[in-house]
Chains A and B, each alone.
Chain A
Amino acid sequence: MQKITREQLIAKASELLSNGTVSQVLGWGKGEFDYDVTPTLFSSAEELENGFVFNDFCGANFSKYLVSKAAKADGKLLVFLKPCDTYSFNQLLTEHRFDREKVYAVGIPCEGMADISKVKAISGDGIASINADGDNLVVTTLYEDAPITIATKDVLAERCINCKSKKHVAYDELMGEEGEVLASNRFDEVARLEAMTADERFAFWQNELSRCIRCNACRDACPACTCEKCVFDNPNSGVENKSPANEFEEKLFHIIRAYHVAGRCTDCGECSRVCPQNIPLHLLNRKFIKDINEFYGEYQAGEEVDSRAPLVNYTTEDLEPGEVFDRGDNNA
């Protein structure tokens, strides 16, 4: 259960609307289902009361929306940011992607968000409602008479289990208590793959990536993928493609996408959250992050505004690509 409530957030938003600090609120809007939460713009207390939700399914990272929405807003735009969202917020500022003056950021605490596919794995399909009750989620479904109680911690999203930080690195105002940067085990899975043989890894990724349907959800949700025109949509780029025509195209898209955000990805995990095929795309980004940390020293994108991303930086003593593999050949 989240420490901060929907009511507190609405109160804060209404107050900021009414005192003129902001003209609009970017928040989580009611969807068709309780777990189906949609980023929505609210302009009044009334709209908030009708449509604003805050529950264990509010994983969406709003930072990216600032690129398009902040410029259009008349006054300031209120945005609620969970700790991991603030890293994306800073990274986008570093890249001059929105006007800081147009945004009023309120940091909110986050206890981790639930993964609906994990819930469904327990409850089965046909979910009618999900309500938080203390540390549990109470799920009613069309097919079961009795509500099903699930411990929230058992259905936490992978990215929340391995949460890297409960600290907000950017905000105008903070609600609740500030947290700490955490020592997470987020690279364990990458390390596990690294320890495999090349053949095993190839088989693993072949299996994962072959499910890609090129819906572009990963790209569209990614707060680092904010290009005015994506190379994969651009007929003049030479690499335009719109369908996962074959194995090569699948790999090309995901390698290049991961490469384009390498050093800029804050590891928010949106790519994997939104993937309808449940491909662990965040592992590609984490591989780059892990490599960068190991090759060039610890670097957390978005930790500071105006930091220089590792791939647009260098030292004269950097290791050679050949040495990458010499440092303990783990993939014989």
Chain B
Amino acid sequence: MQRVGVFVCWCGSNIAGTVDVKAVAEALKNEPGVVFSTDYQYMCSQAGQDMIINAVKEHNLTGIVVCSCSPRMHEATFRKTAAAAGLNPYMVEIANIREQCSWVHKDMALGTEKAIILGKAAVAKVNLNAPLTPGQSPVTKRALVIGGGIAGIQTALDIADAGFEVDIVEKKPTIGGKMAQLDKTFPTLDCAACILTPKMVDVAQNDKIRIFSYSEVAEVKGFVGNFDVTIKKNARYVKEDICTGCGACVEKCPMKKNPNEFNLGMDNRPAIYIPFAQAVPKVATIDPNACNMLKNGKCGVCARICTAGAIDYTQKDEYIEEKYGAIVVATGFNPISMDKFDEFAYNQSKDVITSLEFERLTNAAGPTAGHLERPSDGRSPKTIVFVQCVGSRCDACAEKGKEYCSKICCMYTAKHAMLVRDKYPETEVYVFYIDVRTPGKNFDEFYRRAVEEYGVKYVKGMVGKVVPEGDKLKVQASDLLANKQLHIDADLVVLAAAIEPDKSARPLATMLTASMDTNDFFTEAHPKLRPVESPTAGVFLSGACQGPKDIPETVSQASAAAAKVIGLLAKDKLTGNPCIAHSDELMCNGCSSCANVCPYGAITYEDKEFRMPDRTTKVRRVASVNPAVCQGCGACTVACPSGAMDLKGFANLQIMAEVDAICK
């Protein structure tokens, strides 16, 4: 039995208005173990806390019950108070008589009665409390960045700049991500490659940064400060450390006709390839689905041509295990499939393209060397129709598309339209829009320039149908302001496809136990105050994996995530939560039920020798909990049939005592 002090808070009138606090304090005086009971206007104030500290000393209290607001509000405060009074901070229990009593009940008598019961439950619990000491765990001073686009690159550079080691895992053969595929960037129109590739080179040359390209995360174990990650390095059949990236193999490879992913399939690449000239690492990769040598054992041209001897057809996927203190998710986005929007004839005509494909068509390093040509016949288009919001802002009951605004389309379409009119002034350019959304520095000015200086025809309305006929695309659309239906014979139709999180994000979230929203964007720990952290400790969010973002926003979030990581890695020790599971080995059957339900793999087994009553010894298999890994959910405690497994701070007997007190 403890010597319990009860402190009933008025919270001004918040509690005292509906609960007779004096009566509560008085009633709790008679509870077992209670040696002191009082009330005060604001327990959380300095004066209130001092009152608690003095009472602890004066009455030799060993346990404290505060009847006040939610423990989610001030539990931490009162634990500190207890510590200041020389008590173990976990000898405090809170009875929530504000959020769950005075604020939801109107009747003084009923409110008071309930407050007393809640107080009794807290007293019953604290009587069974035991001092708890949080464990400490070390921090591995290395970060993992998953995704090597501009978000991952910026995060990695910032972390490395602070002196910590960073690994980037990128599933493509090169880092660079979507930004590497872009032509110009809004609203400044500087070329994406010109600002991105120097950063890629910085990454490559930074001795704190390692790049695992053509790789993916296979397994994540552990917890904040101590993640154990298995990285699967896919076989690229080229020895990365030997390949010089000279490109001779690429030139000589006879299997030339494979859709070039970097150009979104608008041209071909050989079976052995380097995605683009500034790739990092600049190393060739063999596509095993295209290579005749790998498929049929015939060919071997690249191996013969490679003077460095970098080709290795026998290379196998490699698994690398590494420890990290923090993980940053930067898995980015993709345009959605246009399959469900074939009223725009994307599947029927090569000349209906997405905006990302348009980027490649105008990019000097793209399939047309930057000349705007129709994919079908190479003619230069005279009339181009841009369609906004394809698959964005759809209602869920429309059963296609996304409910959210993709955010970047208005601006890049203005950019596309402007660039076309700039380079090919004779081209007619229509943009069909629902709303033009341009919140951002210099964004609306940019859009206005497209209209006013470059003569882009913005039409408030939507395209309803695109009919490829002959060499034209017959576009039927509405002009809502003129109340007209327009029929335009276009040469090229560009669809601003909605963007969605990369498909790899969902399984990754499961591995990380990081939560996601219904759209598969990662959820932030708090939408306003903790926007770059996942609710899972040690996991941080960078870029479009958290929601649609343009480049400036992505880079700011990337640096913010890096700052959070640096803050974590700068610590030598992390203090854990002491409310964790523990197993009584005398009662443990070793049946593995607890380990089966543990989401963290915190439970392991060992064979232990026990002395039996008849003085013989018996070896039994018993569970033990890794205190650094256990997060204290309690799933194991219910799975355990013998009751050997219990949870500190929320023990079976404590909860039953609460039940008894409430039901008494």
Residues of A within 8 A of B (CB): 71-72, 94-97, 226-231, 234, 236-238, 260-261, 308-309, 311-313
A–B pairs, 26, beta carbons within 8 Å: A71-B619, A94-B592, A95-B589, A95-B590, A95-B591, A95-B592, A95-B593, A96-B590, A96-B592, A97-B590, A226-B589, A227-B587, A227-B641, A228-B588, A228-B644, A229-B586, A229-B587, A231-B641, A231-B642, A231-B643, A234-B587, A236-B653, A238-B653, A309-B593, A311-B639, A313-B596
Query: Which are the 6 A-B pairs with shortest beta-carbon distances?
Result: A95-B591, A227-B642, A312-B596, A260-B641, A238-B656, A229-B587
Whether B662 is near chain A, meaning CB under 8 Å from some CB there, is no
A308 adjacent to B596 (CB under 8 Å)? yes
B594 to chain A minimum Cβ distance, whole angstroms, is 8
Which of chain A's residues have a CB closer than 8 A to the CB of B60?
none
Identify A228's interface contact among B596, B639, B642, CB under 8 A. Answer: B642
Q: Are B641 and A237 in contact (CB under 8 A)?
A: no
Assembly CA distance A311 to B640 (angstroms) = 11
Known: A230-B642, A311-B639. A71 touches B592 (CB 8 A): no
- With A71-B618, A260-B641, A311-B639 as known contacts, state yes or no: A237 contacts B652, CB within 8 Å: yes
Give bound CA distance, A238 to B593, whole Å.
21
B621 close to chain A: CB less than 8 A? yes
Is A312 a contact partner of B593 (Cβ separation < 8 A)?
yes
Closest to A261 in B: B641
The chain B residue sitting closest to A313, CB to CB, is B596
Other A-B contacts than A234-B587, A260-B641, 20 sampled, CB-CB below 8 A, are A95-B589, A95-B590, A96-B605, A97-B591, A228-B586, A228-B620, A228-B642, A229-B586, A229-B642, A231-B642, A234-B643, A237-B643, A238-B652, A238-B653, A308-B596, A309-B593, A312-B593, A312-B597, A312-B639, A313-B596
Cα–Cα distance between A309 and B596 once the two chains are bound (Å): 9
Hey, which chain B residues are within 8 Å of A231, CB to CB? Answer: 641-643
B residues near A (Cβ < 8 Å) are 586-593, 596-597, 605, 616, 618-621, 639, 641-644, 652-653, 656
Q: Enumerate chain A residues within 8 angstroms of B641, measured Cβ to Cβ.
A: 227, 231, 260-261
> Nearest chain-A residue to B618 (Cβ)?
A71
In contact, B652 and A227 (Cβ under 8 angstroms): no
- How far apart are the CA atoms of A96 and B592 in the complex, in Å? 8
- The smallest beta-carbon distance between A311 and chain B, in angstroms, is 7
Q: Give A234 to B588 CA distance when docked, in angstroms.
A: 13
| A227 and B620 alpha carbons, distance in the complex (Å) | 12
Residues of chain A with a CB closer than 8 A to B619's CB? 71
Q: Which residues of B contact A94 (CB under 8 A)?
A: 592
Expressed in whole angstroms, the Cα–Cα distance for A260 and B605 within the complex equals 21
Closest CB of chain A to B111's CB: distance in Å?
30
Bound-state Cα–Cα, A228 to B623, Å: 13
CB-defined contacts of A228 to chain B, threshold 8 Å: 586-589, 620, 642, 644
Set B591, B618, B656: member contacting A96, Cβ < 8 A: B591
A96 to B593, CA, bound (A): 11
In the complex, which of the residues A72, A96, A97 has the most CB atoms of chain B within 10 Å of its own CB atom?
A96
Closest to B610 in A: A228
| Shortest Cβ distance from B616 into A: residue | A72
**Closest beta carbon of chain B to A184's beta carbon, Å:** 27
Q: How far is the CA of A261 from the CA of B597 in the complex (A)?
A: 16
**Alpha-carbon gap, A261 to B641, bound state (A):** 8
Residues of chain A lying within 8 A (CB to CB) of residue B653: 236, 238
Q: In the complex, which residues of chain B have a beta carbon less than 8 angstroms from the beta carbon of A261?
A: 641
A58 to B620, CA, bound (A): 30
Q: For the complex, what is the distance from the CA of A71 to the CA of B620, rounded to whole Å?
A: 9
Complex Cα distance, B656 from A95, in Å, reads 28
Nearest-CB residue, chain A, relative to B619: A71
Task: Name the CB-closest residue of B to A312.
Answer: B596
A95: B residues at CB distance < 8 A = 589-593
CA distance A194 to B54 in the complex (A): 61
Closest residue to A68 on the B side, CB-wise?
B618
- List the A side residues contacting B644 at CB < 8 Å: 228
List A contacts of B618 (CB < 8 A): 71
Chain B residue numbers with a CB within 8 Å of A226 are 589
Cβ-closest chain A residue relative to B598: A312
With A226-B589, A227-B589 as known contacts, state yes or no: A96 contacts B621, CB within 8 Å.
yes
In this complex, what residue of B is CB-closest to A226?
B589
Which residues of A have CB within 8 Å of B590? 95-97
**Which chain A residue shows the least CB distance to B635?**
A312
A127, B208: Cα distance in complex, Å = 88
Q: In whole Å, how far is A98's beta carbon from the nearest beta carbon of chain B?
A: 10
Which residue of B has the minimal Cβ distance to A257? B641
Which residue of A is nearest B651, CB measured? A238
| Residues on A with beta carbons closer than 8 Å to the beta carbon of B656 | 238
Known contacts A229-B642, A260-B641, A312-B639; A97/B589 CB under 8 A = yes
CB neighbours of B586 from chain A (8 A)? 228-229
> How far apart are the CA atoms of A72 and B604 in the complex, in Å?
25
CA distance A13 to B597 in the complex (A): 41
Give the distance in Å from the alpha carbon of A231 to the alpha carbon of B586 in the complex.
13
Q: Which single residue of chain A is at the shortest CB-CB distance from B657? A: A238
Q: A230 to B656, alpha carbons, bound, how many Å?
A: 18
Among B586, B597, B639, B641, the most chain A Cβ lie within 10 Å of the Cβ of B641
Shortest Cβ distance from residue B458 to the other chain A in the assembled complex, whole angstroms: 45
Bound complex: CA A99 to CA B589 (Å):
13
Bound CA–CA A312/B653 (angstroms): 23
Q: How many Å lie between the Cα of A128 and that of B597 in the bound state?
A: 53
B588 CB contacts on chain A under 8 angstroms: 228
Residue of B nearest to A231 (CB): B643
Give the most central of A228, A260, A309: most B CB within 10 Å.
A228
A313 to B595, CA, bound (A): 11
> Residue on A with the closest CB to B591?
A95
Roughly how many angstroms separate A103 CA and B656 CA in the complex, as a whole number?
42
Distance of A68 Cα from B169 Cα, bound (Å): 52
Alpha-carbon distance A229/B620, docked complex (angstroms): 14
Q: B6 to chain A: closest CB distance in Å?
A: 24
Report Cα–Cα, A238/B643, bound state, in Å: 10
User: Shortest distance in angstroms between A64's beta carbon and chain B's nearest beta carbon?
Assistant: 13
- How far is A234 from B644 in the complex, measured between Cα atoms in Å? 10
Query: Most A CB atoms within 10 A — which of B588, B593, B597?
Result: B593
CA distance A71 to B619 in the complex (A): 8
B506–chain A nearest beta-carbon distance, Å:
12
- Least Cβ distance of A308 to chain B in Å? 6
